[in-house]
Structure 1
Amino acid sequence: MSEVRIAAEPRTEFGKGAARRARRAGKVPAVLYGHGTDPRHITLPGHDLMLALKTPNVLLRLDGVEGGDNLVLPKSVQRDAIKGFLEHVDLLVVKKGEKVSVEIWVTVTGEVAHGGVLNQELVQIEVLAEATHIPQGVEVDVTGLEAGAQISAGDLKLPEGAELATDPEALVVTIAAERTSEEGAGEEGEAAAAPAAE
């Protein structure tokens, strides 16, 4: 599990104007919450935070936060829709040994049987995992699967220590039959032969 140290500063000014000033200074406004504590407002260095967030489910170790609650998980990241810069981040305080709910990527490996077409229905699934051992993702092998085959979330082999939080019946992968060129031509011919509705 990736852990990144990052410097945090308490935030004393609030509102849109204060947030804009912070962003102009290269800082990102953030809120720290969890474990029954009152939300705390801080700012984080924008460049360091942007680099850290390139890792999915990264743990941040905050320097400069009072009370010792300095291990956090980014839960909500707001970006500017046009320029893509970070506008605001919600951070969840976590403790070693505590389980948290996170989304992890599903990576498909292998080739389906000839005549089958792979459809990936879910690219992420939700799991419960220990805060300091969050898996990067889960792989699903589709080698040799034929048309009509399905893999649901409950069929996935999760990394050790992770529990499935997504509905186990949710489809992750389906294999459809490949359309032949004759089928496509036949349908087009039927449509052309049908009289136009008046």
Structure 2
Amino acid sequence: MATTHEITAQGRKDEGKGASRRLRRAGMVPAVVYGGGAAPQSIQLEHNSVLLAAKNEWFFSSILDLAVDGKKQKVLVRDLQKHPYKLQVLHIDFQRINENEAIRLRVPLHFLNQEKSPAHKTSGVVISHNMTEVEVSCLPKDLPEYIEVDLADLKQDDIIHLSELKLPKGVEIPELKLGKEHDHPVVTAHAMKEEVEEAPAAAEGEAAAAAAAAPAAAPAKEEKK
């Protein structure tokens, strides 16, 4: 079951770059809401509240209750623009959703019990998280905030693929429909390869090079009889 979070905003009529700059100087974030069979709407949000919310996974992977002037609508964050070096949100795009239509969204993966796994307890084994999020398709009501990946039984040389993830009811991974070659590894547990010492071979190579570079010995002179 999807968890919703409420975000408060106000409608705005002033548009354009100049209006957006004025909003930012006033501590607000310009944004737009579109889709859902309704006309796009320009809105504004309090910057610090947005910046705080954006630090959470759910802000990008959950359905939000966006309250614009008190009127709620269910949306997803489709784009968030940040200043290249300042701690500042510049603009947000929200998309309205239809609760009767499937949506596609990337949700984070949460890895559990790695420290309890045999692979973690085996010396020299490296556990790699090849993916940290996955795109799913489902109805809005079934959207999970994250998907758990239990690594308690992970052993050396084990590989967990996309098809092995335990998905909530009503949730699927569209990429798996494209063929077996799209069943990518999510987690791998492999032993580190030890580097073979090449010192002897290198020494032989240096000796051979030195011999080749040395001047040839002068032929011995025959004794005159």
TM-score by length of 2: 0.72
- Report the equivalent of 2:216: none
Same amino acid, percent of matched pairs? 32
Find 2:85's aligned residue among 58, 82, 86.
82
Q: What displacement does 1:4 show?
A: 3.0
- Report the equivalent of 1:148: 157
Distance change (3 Å), C-alpha of 1:195 and 1:13: farther
- Report the equivalent of 2:189: 175
- Report the equivalent of 1:131: 140
Distance change (3 Å), C-alpha of 1:26 and 1:58: farther
- Higher strand proportion: 1
CA–CA separation in structure 1 for the residues paired with 2:137 and 2:89: 27
CA–CA separation in structure 1 for the residues paired with 2:53 and 2:3: 9
- Structure 2, unmatched stretches of 5+, are 177-181, 210-225
Distance change (3 Å), C-alpha of 1:39 and 1:194: farther
TM-score by length of 1: 0.81
- Higher helix proportion: 2
CA–CA separation in structure 2 for the residues paired with 1:149 and 1:165: 24
Query: Which moved further from structure 2: 130-139 or 117-126?
Result: 130-139
The yes-or-no answer on 1:98 pairing with 2:112 is: no
The yes-or-no answer on 1:20 pairing with 2:29 is: no
Deviations 1:24-69 (A, max 9, x none): 1121111111123332221122222233332422433233369x67
The yes-or-no answer on 1:61 pairing with 2:65 is: yes
Q: For the Cα contact (< 8 Å) 2:110–2:147, is it kept in 1?
A: yes
CA–CA separation in structure 1 for the residues paired with 2:200 and 2:16: 63
Deviations 1:148-167 (A, max 9, x none): 32211111011233211344
Q: For the Cα contact (< 8 Å) 1:108–1:140, is it kept in 2?
A: yes
Query: Which moved further from structure 2: 151-160 or 51-60?
Result: 51-60
CA–CA separation in structure 1 for the residues paired with 2:86 and 2:204: 50
Tell me the number of residue pairs that the alignment of Structure 1 and Structure 2 aligns. Answer: 193
Q: For the Cα contact (< 8 Å) 1:101–1:128, is it kept in 2?
A: yes
The yes-or-no answer on 1:121 pairing with 2:130 is: yes
Q: What displacement does 1:97 show?
A: 4.0
- Structure 1, unmatched stretches of 5+, are none
CA–CA separation in structure 1 for the residues paired with 2:145 and 2:132: 13
